[in-house]
Structures are given as structure tokens and as C-alpha cells.
Amino acid sequence: VDVKQRKTDIGPPHYKNFLPPVIQKNYGDWKTHEILSPGLMVHIANSGDKIWTVRVASPRLLSTDTLRDIADIAEKYCGGYFRFTTRNNVEFLVSDESKVNPLLDELKAKKYMIGGIGSRVSNIVHTQGWIHCHSAAVDASALVKALMDEFADYFTTKETPNKVRFAVACCTNMCGAVHCSDIAFVGIHRKLPRIDHDNFKNLCELPTTMAACPTAAITPDPAKKSIKINAEKCMYCGNCFSVCPALPIADPENDGVAIVVGGKVGNLRKPPMFSKLAVAYLPNTPPRWPEVIKATRKIFDAYVAGAKKHERVGEWIERIGWEKFFAVTGLPFTFQHIDDWTYAFKTFRTTTQFKW
């Protein structure tokens, strides 16, 4: 073997290698697109070439069998091309118009949920939950299932004033897009980490553990060769547990869900917006989280009834005012909203220019 010729670090392959030939040919030279039905759109290039996108929902954590099935469907109708969107929708990319309807028929027959394009609910981006992550305060996938069952008709058929992006993150480390989604859910712990002093000295590094705390709540406890936590400073984020397994924080009685609203990534009409606190705490009630679903319904229905066409949730709230948001949703305004203890600043009105 010629060692000099041997490539050991090939890095990620170039993304263009994965584009369907029609997209490669017309790269950067597209004229328009049209939404033909809730789960079907067509892009038209200046050359006249077209590519159809068929979108289906996915639960994100997919079995090998489902992935094989998706790949087989893509082989059959799309020359093998499909993609996952950032919110875990599966998009089949069809270059041959005659294959669009047979693809839709097979997806319907196999009970894939088709939709999510345009002004409606998209698939729900979320995080690992109880299956994979050590610091989860809520089970992301199970809560997503409960939410998606509740709002499925707004994915498949019904319209909303603009896109409604849901997101679920199972702790405040927030691997999901909670800060920039229209209606989002974040798992929260509400009790101090429990310090396992015996194991601390064997399992954890003092400097790393102290450095992991964003509020400097952790200080050394030399007598015990362990640490102390200042309860006044701790915000129950669980970051210390991420680096030190001797500081477990999960608590079945007290963990739960906060709801934040009004974030967006897009730059249309208004710059990107951060989500702000709507509900400070709801209990963990698996498998269907009825309290969370009920509160979400209030927010969602008030938005659908009150927003103007094209207004995202955050734009609607800013127009009517946060005071009115709590009035029309019927959600209680609590002391936690005042300093917005989960994330954002300026939850409440902070400017003298505010107008009703």
C-alpha cells in the first residue's frame, strides 16, 4: 500500500453529490415554486425543468425497517433521492411527473402522513428524551406524539395564518429549536441536583464540574472532597450533571414542562425573534400530557382565530400586546413571567412606545 496515497480522513462528502440531477443542472437558477396540495409542491427552473417535493411526517426516532421502507420508496419513484428537513419531515424529490401520483398513492396506502407544506403545522423538531439522554426532564418523543395527534389535521389539511413551528427540548440545555419556534416546549427540573459525595471524588473532576455551572453556584467542599451547591444561585439547568454523574437532577415528582412562544428564524416582515415564556410549569403526565395539550390548544386556537394572514405567532402577539395575549388565551400571568426565568428578556412590555 502506498501510504502517501491512502486517505484516512475523507471528511463529509460534498453535499452536491447528493442533489438530484435536475437540481444539479439548474443549481441557483430557479424561477418559482407552487404549493399544489398540503404535502406537494413543485419548483420550476428558468430552463423549464421541474422537481416535485412530497413531504411526510416522521417521528424522528425511526426503526431500521421504516428507514429501509423510505429508502425503497425513494428508489422506486425518486431515483433514490429523498431528504430530511431540519424538523424531521421526510421529503421525496420526484423529477418525473408521471411518478408523483403513484408515489402519493403508495404513501397513503402505507399510512404515511402527507402534509406540512405552506401555512400549517410542520413536523415537530425535538430532542432525545428519556430514551437517549441522561438529563431529560420530559420525554420529547412521547410529548411530540401527543401533540402531533392533537394537531394532525393542521398538518394534513387545515390552514393556519402562517407556518406554525412546534419544537420540544427535553431540558434547558435545549438541543431543539425551542428559542426560535412559534410554540415550543422545554423540559424543566425544579429541584437541586442531589450530591452523591461518595461517588463525587471517584467519578468527577472538581474544576470541570465548577466550570460547568453557568451561575457559579458550585464551590469546593474540601472536608468531603466534594462540592457544595448554593441553592440561591442554582437554576436547575442540569449542566453539572452533564459532566458529573454524581449530581443526578431528574425528579419524577417535580420535573415538568414550560411553554415558550413567539420565536422565529425567518427574516420576512420582522427580524428573527426569540421565544418568550407563556407557561412556567406544567406537570409531567405521560403518556398523553393532557395539561400541556390543553394549554397548547388555548394558544393555538387564539392565534388561528386572531392573527392576520401571514402573521407568525410572535408577530401576532407583538401586535396585540403581551397583556392581551394572556387575556385571549386565558393563561395565567404568574410571577415567573416578570423576570422570565427560563430564557428570554423583555417578556412583558418594556417600552413607552408600546401601543395597544
Find out whether 41 and 33 touch, Cβ atoms under 8 Å. yes
Find out whether 310 and 162 touch, Cβ atoms under 8 Å. yes
Q: How far apart are CA 35 and CA 105, in angstroms?
A: 18
280 binds ligand SF4 (CB under 6 A): no
Identity of the amino acid at 318: E
213 binds ligand SF4 (CB under 6 A): yes
**Shortest distance (Å) from residue 69 CB to ligand SF4:** 26
Question: In this chain, which stretch among 195-203, 215-223, 312-320, 346-354 interacts with ligand SF4, using CB under 6 A?
Answer: 215-223
- The site string for ligand SF4 over 113-132 (x = CB under 6 A, - otherwise) reads --------------xx----
133 binds ligand SF4 (CB under 6 A): yes
Q: Which is nearer to ligand SF4, 103 or 140 (CB)?
A: 140
How far lies 346's CA from each of 94, 262, 339, in Å? 46, 13, 8
Question: What's the gap between Cα 37 and its chain centre?
Answer: 24
Find out whether 292 and 143 touch, Cβ atoms under 8 Å. yes
**Shortest distance (Å) from residue 199 CB to ligand SF4:** 16
Give the count of beta carbons closer than 10 Å to the beta carbon of residue 293. 18
Q: How far apart are CA 222 and CA 349, in angstroms?
A: 46
**Shortest distance (Å) from residue 178 CB to ligand SF4:** 9
Find out whether 201 and 318 touch, Cβ atoms under 8 Å. no
170 binds ligand SF4 (CB under 6 A): yes
Q: Which is nearer to ligand SF4, 247 or 307 (CB)?
A: 247
Q: Of these, 26, 95, 135, 226, which contacts ligand SF4 (CB under 6 A)?
A: 135
Give the count of beta carbons closer than 10 Å to the beta carbon of residue 316. 22
Query: Could you tell me how many residues of this chain bind ligand SF4 (CB under 6 A)?
Result: 26
173 binds ligand SF4 (CB under 6 A): yes
> Which among 291, 178, 171 is positioned nearest to 238, based on CA atoms?
171
Q: Which is nearer to ligand SF4, 119 or 336 (CB)?
A: 336
Residue ranges that bind ligand SF4, judged by CB under 6 A? 127-128, 133, 135-136, 169-171, 173-175, 193, 212-213, 215, 217-218, 229, 234-240, 249
